[in-house]
Amino acid sequence: AALAGNAVALWMRDPEQAALLAGTRTNPRFLPGVRLHEAIRPTANLADLAETEAVLLVTPAQTTREMTAALSAVLPAATPLVLCAKGIERETRAFLSDVAEAVRPGSPLAVLSGPSFADDVARGLPTAVTLACRDAALARRIAAALSGPTLRIYHRTDVRGVEIGGAAKNVLAIACGAVAGRGLGESAKAALVARGFAELLRFARAYGGEAETLMGLAGLGDLVLTCSTAQSRNFAFGLRLGQGLSPEAAAEGRLVEGASTARALVALARAREVDMPISEAVEKILNGAWTLDQAVDALMNRPIKSELE
Ligand SMILES: NC(=O)C1=CN([C@@H]2O[C@H](COP(=O)(O)OP(=O)(O)OC[C@H]3O[C@@H](n4cnc5c(N)ncnc54)[C@H](O)[C@@H]3O)[C@@H](O)[C@H]2O)C=CC1
Ligand SMILES: O=C(CO)COP(=O)(O)O
């Protein structure tokens, strides 16, 4: 937002961290080596966001409900909220836009997703993402306001498709990482990306997302990025699972959204009879029902069928 020429208030919950960031202009823990843009003003006071034109919510997916409620107390009802987390609410199996809509009914809501490591965006490396809002004019306005010389934002009205892409690709990236960690080869990884994408499409169709959205940045684009490199925490988590670490050890205390979302994703898929064998395998590995080798066996020994099924 700052690179696009906006004045930005950056809220964080810890007043000490906010003061430290305001003073040092660096955050060695979360963004090492990046100097905070001069147009960004850190604050620990949510009320400082009351007059902003739009709020980007970038806390973990499972905090969406509590954060939207906290924001509702300080924001005018007309302030657009842009959800940036990628996941599904674990307890309720609700999509994040439905969570925010339930807490703040009728207020403008958008979802921002797509292939974009925070580190790349903060360093001003070229990045392209998708923003969806049911109000097409608002989608265009927010996309234009946040786009800058290094960040290009496409807009759509398909909120569901964009949020499904972000949530599901994290689960699939864990599978890709596990294949890499177990040394199963690049061919297996490519097969997983392609068959994982087929799962994503099937799931989106069953839940009202548009196939074209999933073929774009928020689906295929983010799946390819997250399945390619250990710069992704989901991929790196899978990599360590593949090397034999337990889920707890593999997370290394970092946020792994795919691990939090896997069970809800699989439950939603089952509820509408969507076949998602790769996501199911990830969920079974995470809950201890299968070893990685059992998962590979199960995936390779499924009945031979048409590629389009
Ligand atoms: N890091 C990345 O490259 C990208 C992240 N995302 C998504 O953004 C979301 C957040 O991810 P990151 O920023 O990378 O995670 P992170 O773990 O680096 O940072 C999360 C931040 O949220 C704060 N936080 C955690 N619980 C909170 C709570 N209950 N209330 C207030 N603040 C809380 C933490 O203190 C931390 O500052 C995730 O859903 C992720 O999938 C999306 C695109 C790229
Ligand atoms: O969503 C991301 C890139 O688009 C970040 O992925 P990880 O959460 O796996 O690091």
Question: Is there a domain that residue 100 lies in?
Answer: yes
Rounded mean pLDDT of 162-179? Answer: 97
Please identify, among 159, 186, 215, the residue that sits at the C-terminal boundary of a domain: 159
The question of whether 284 is a catalytic residue gets the answer no
- The reported pLDDT for the residue numbered 47 is 96
Query: Do 249 and 136 sit in the same domain of this protein?
Result: no
Annotated binding residue 257 = yes
CA of residue 188 to ligand 1 center, whole Å: 30
CA of residue 181 to ligand 1 center, whole Å: 25
| 122 ligand 1 Cβ < 6 A | no
Over its C-alpha atoms, the chain yields an Rg (Å, rounded) of 19
Question: Is there a domain that residue 227 lies in?
Answer: yes
Query: Do 291 and 177 sit in the same domain of this protein?
Result: yes
Instruction: Please check the confidence at residue 303 and state whether its pLDDT lies above 90.
Output: no
CATH code for the domain in which residue 43 is found: 3.40.50.720
| 121 ligand 1 Cβ < 6 A | no
- The reported pLDDT for the residue numbered 9 is 98
| Cβ proximity of 17 and 43 under 8 Å | no
Q: Which residue among 83, 225, 239 is best mutated to probe the pocket of ligand 2, counting the most ligand atoms within 8 A of its Cβ? A: 225
| Cβ proximity of 178 and 238 under 8 Å | yes
Helix intervals (H) in 25-129? 64-72, 96-103, 118-122
Distance CA 174, CA 242 (A): 9
* Domain containing residue 78: 8-159
When pLDDT is cut at 50, 70 and 90, the band that residue 60 belongs to is very high
Q: What is the pLDDT of residues 70-86, one digit of tens each?
A: 999 999 999 999 999 99
Query: Do 155 and 184 sit in the same domain of this protein?
Result: no
| 13 ligand 1 Cβ < 6 A | yes
- pTM, to two decimals: 0.97
Say which of 169, 189, 284, 305 is annotated catalytic.
169
Q: Which residue among 59, 120, 234 is best mutated to probe the pocket of ligand 2, counting the most ligand atoms within 8 A of its Cβ? A: 234
Query: Do 139 and 191 sit in the same domain of this protein?
Result: no
CA 52-42-36 angle, 5° bins: 110
Tokens of 96: 């994040």
- The reported pLDDT for the residue numbered 307 is 86
Annotated binding residue 45 = no
Query: Do 56 and 143 sit in the same domain of this protein?
Result: yes
Question: Is there a domain that residue 45 lies in?
Answer: yes
CATH code for the domain in which residue 229 is found: 1.10.1040.10
Atom of ligand 1 nearest to the CA of 118: 3
| 251 ligand 2 Cβ < 6 A | no
Query: Do 58 and 86 sit in the same domain of this protein?
Result: yes
| Count of the separate structural domains present in the chain | 2
Please identify, among 159, 181, 199, the residue that sits at the C-terminal boundary of a domain: 159
Nearest CA to ligand 1 atom 7: 85
When pLDDT is cut at 50, 70 and 90, the band that residue 309 belongs to is confident
Question: Is there a domain that residue 306 lies in?
Answer: no
Question: Is there a domain that residue 276 lies in?
Answer: yes
Please identify, among 141, 159, 177, the residue that sits at the C-terminal boundary of a domain: 159
When pLDDT is cut at 50, 70 and 90, the band that residue 244 belongs to is very high
- The reported pLDDT for the residue numbered 306 is 86
Query: Do 48 and 100 sit in the same domain of this protein?
Result: yes
Question: Is there a domain that residue 2 lies in?
Answer: no
Q: What is the pLDDT of residues 152-166, one digit of tens each?
A: 999 999 999 999 999
Tokens of 173: 């990236």
Rounded mean pLDDT of 299-308? Answer: 87
Q: Which residue among 255, 256, 260, 265 is best mutated to probe the pocket of ligand 1, counting the most ligand atoms within 8 A of its Cβ? A: 255
Q: Of 7, 46, 49, 40, nearest to 21 (Cα)?
A: 40
Query: Do 35 and 73 sit in the same domain of this protein?
Result: yes
Q: Does the complex come out with an ipTM higher than 0.95?
A: yes
